[in-house]
Structure 1
């Protein structure tokens, strides 16, 4: 018995010595003395931007474009978005993806605020990107986790509270104010870490303030905050323009240009098969307008072969004619135009400009609406014409037809004597094309304004009413049940017909 006790004691002592030697100075001996224990801002920015754009572009293609009558995924099957036939499975992809990337953008801010790696420009860029993603989240779902989101690792909050959309927007505005101040220092960043502006922090500042205008305009019709939002728009545009520079040319547009090299390969090419890309037909609203206007984006075959133009639109049997969206099952319309796709040649599937975040034309149409409503100085007509011109020249820089000539020939010229509602329809019809490929912004703007006027097919579900939101992912009901129930109680039923805060009267 004594021998057994001695052996056990000896083994225990040996294990203790081994454990001690294995763990002694563990942190020091397992840390690279030439590196950093956490990722640097310049290591995180590009991957986070690429991933965010991947989520945006794929849902732009198969959700936004179907709702907004750009494409029609022709089928009599259940769950077709162009008929407003929403399925709960649509909810997860953006919700999961956007929150995942918020972690990366928050880590950029955290790393850039440390003493050894302090860089106010990366902090400002992080705040802009957080504001961009949070705005898309709340505009898509309504009330969502905000103040307690992405805190599981640092604070152990695994069931975050859902915040009211109003509170989310008010804090986004604070973030954008802080970003404008941080970026005003002009501190340099690593150009290779930035696939949007290649290290030009002044342009990031302009994008942040332009995003500010977009979001202020979105709340401008909500009575309880309208006055403050309109006053801020005027401050940015008229009263303190030098303190709030905005995007001022197509070159300054926020675009992640897909070069096709390494990680900068378009998701339309890497994530979507050729046959799937060209499978949907083009909606008649989208293509018939362009055809009627003799719009150069489809009329000029800039790629020289296969009659393919700058937007990669191919005619069916030589005809540019679209499919009526929302048609009833059994009608079986013929596809007469579609987005051409060929990964071995230039098409929209490999188009560098498809990584659209916010462009100059959108800024001009924001200003046109504000001027038409008397909120800012300047001519609504001039802003409108500039928006239409730059919407075209972003894609066709060499196009030289006077914009008034084009607009008049197409019968879409500005009419000063028109009613405000008629002016809004004209502005938002052109803005609809400026927002082509820009995440879900066409859908958001339609929900805000009701413009442009879209035809209603006989096969539409949801009583023919445009869906007001996506539902929350089903798993949230089981993983965050208490806060889910509070959110539904505050906002309304978790269905697509429940309007978000800024849509309600």
Structure 2
């Protein structure tokens, strides 16, 4: 399917998935009544990436909580004000993405080619794991076992239990993928149906999730970490998992400069000052100059002021370009995860310093930095085994630029400083607007809409995790 037809397909499928069973009374029997697995996988991948990179979820939550950006029109975002718009947007994964992925597996129950159907089901399953992982790391306890089911009021499952089940499912789906059979020949655009690359994505996701729980339960995490690495993860940018946006207005990166130059966000002094300190060659790819210099905005300061866009550095034109990819997983992340596993004395088949350098190299290559500049940079940021957490943490944070949610989670998990021991992050200059948070939120609060649709179960979940507040620690943080 040509990508220029994505918008029409998305519109059709959204209306299809939104139909109730009562609408079958008005169905025209001469027209299609269901979508194909190929149509559904494209729909799910596009909508998932759109939701993840929607302005309120990525830009006003992830990019702020990772301390990459500050706002000009809503500086309360940098001070941890209300995040309900972002919460509500992310929650739509339940009503839009997950039903489409489940429908693929239902449609394949009686498929003629069992091997192809098994691969399609595994790919849909891996994406389901990615969605639930994204949701539980943002909220904590969430609807899981009764999600996308006949339950009108789904219960919220324990986040640790969800993690365990998701890791087990990744094992199952990765093993189910058969490289000797086809999967999707059209529709699927993350890997164009390449089963071997989906296996790498499954292992990479397993590695991320298991490492995220390693501080809390290393004994349970270690087998998954070592198995993922042994099975093969994303090693180079050629295998990155991303949604390929393009210059068509209906198929562009969700926050783009097609019609205008966005001025709602400026780059934080936290990011710019540190990149200047390191003489990081990626800085021109991350931010623009103001009067020929890079100038970051103090994080969480002042009143709303549109003129900040004239005073401080805007994000680069590249990250606002309509064809910027919707990143799900990159080689740089895999390499840094392997570096951490090696630093924790796990079986990785290599040295932490090697993986650390590889992570930097893959990030530099992604941002089109020359090999000479990369080699010179590596000399300025050497790996220190005695201080691995700060070395890996800072470089991973720099490499995660534009992946707001994941960068924020890793900031909280690793709690890193600069390699010299000095603080990298600051408290909001004007202070936090959330009494439960000082430095950075641990989670986002449940959508207020749940008070109207599933209040009893939402309240029970809030009590179980210790309160529906941004400062409430997730299970793997405690």
Q: Secondary structure of 1:456's partner? A: coil
Question: Could you give the per-residue CA deviations for residues 319-375 of structure 1, whole angstroms, max 9, x where no partner exists?
Answer: 11211112255999773311245xxxxx32225343111000100000011111111
Structure 2 SS opposite 1:502: coil
1:290 alignment partner, one of 267, 275, 287: 275
Equivalent residue for 2:351, pick from 374, 379, 382 = 379
Q: Distance in 2 between matches of 1:496 and 1:142?
A: 11
**2:255 maps to which residue?**
268
Q: What residue number does 1:471 align with? A: 445
Find 1:178's aligned residue among 159, 172, 177: 172
Deviations 1:32-70 (A, max 9, x none): 5xx864321101111211111111112212221112221
Instruction: Provide the residue aligned with 2:313 in structure 1.
Output: 337
Q: 2:155 aligns with which of 136, 161, 180?
A: 161
Corresponding position of 1:412: 381
Moved more, 332-341 or 53-62: 332-341
**Among 105, 109, 112, which residue is 2:108 paired with?**
112
**Is 2:240 aligned against 1:253?**
yes
- Return the alpha-carbon distance in structure 2 between the equivalents of residues 349 and 470 of structure 1: 25
Q: 1:107, 1:439 → 2: CA distance?
A: 30
Partners of 2:458 and 2:304 lie apart in 1 by 39
Provide closer, same or farther for how the CA distance between residues 171 and 99 of structure 1 changes in structure 2, counting only shifts above 3 A.
farther
- Aligned 8 A contact 1:348 1:354 in 2: no
Q: May I ask how many residue pairs the two structures share in their alignment?
A: 438
What residue is the counterpart of 2:46 in the other structure?
50
CA distance in 2, matches of 1:373, 1:233: 11
Q: Contact (CA 8 Å) 1:385, 1:403: kept in 2 or not?
A: no
Deviation at 1:297, TM superposition (A): 2.3
Aligned partners of 1:465 and 1:128: how far apart in 2? 34
Question: What CA distance in whole angstroms lies between the structure 1 residues aligned with 2:304 and 2:120?
Answer: 54
Residue in structure 1 matched with residue 392 of structure 2 by the alignment: 427
Distance 2:476 2:362 in 1: 29
Q: Which runs of 5+ in 1 are unaligned?
A: 1-25, 299-308, 342-346
Deviation, structure 1 residue 262: 7.2
Deviation at 1:291, TM superposition (A): 2.7
Q: Which residue of 2 aligns with 1:139?
A: 137
Q: TM-score, normalised by structure 2?
A: 0.85
User: Is 1:318 paired with 2:292?
Assistant: yes
2:226 to 217, 223, 234: 234
Question: Aligned-pair distance for 1:439?
Answer: 4.9
Gaps in structure 2 of 5+ consecutive residues: 1-23, 418-423
Tell me what 1:11 maps to.
none
1:5 is matched with none
Does residue 460 (structure 1) correspond to residue 431 (structure 2)? The answer is yes
- C-alpha contact 1:113 1:123 (8 A) present in aligned 2: no
Pairwise CA RMSD of aligned residues? 2.6
**Structure 1 residues 194-203 or 321-330, which shifts more?**
321-330
Q: Aligned with 1:193: secondary structure?
A: coil
Shift of 1:268: 1.8
Separation in 2, partners of 1:310, 1:125: 33
Tell me: CA distance 1:36–1:386, structure 2 relative to 1, closer, same or farther (3 Å). Answer: same
Q: Equivalent residue for 1:210?
A: 204
Quote the offset at 1:379 in angstroms.
Answer: 0.7
Looking at structure 2, the residues matched to 136 and 98 of structure 1 have their Cα atoms a distance apart, in angstroms, of: 12
For residues 354 and 363 of structure 2, the distance between their equivalents in structure 1, rounded to whole angstroms, comes to 14
Does the aligned pair in 1 maintain the 2:140–2:159 contact within 8 Å? yes
Q: Who wins on radius of gyration, i.e. which is larger?
A: 1
**Which deviates more, 81-90 or 46-55?**
81-90
CA distance in 2, matches of 1:340, 1:250: 21
Q: Deviations over 1:289-335 (max 9, x none)?
A: 2233332323xxxxxxxxxx544x32111111211112255999773
Q: Is the 8 A contact 1:329 1:459 kept in 2?
A: no
CA gap 1:99/1:423 in 2 versus in 1, 3 angstroms: farther
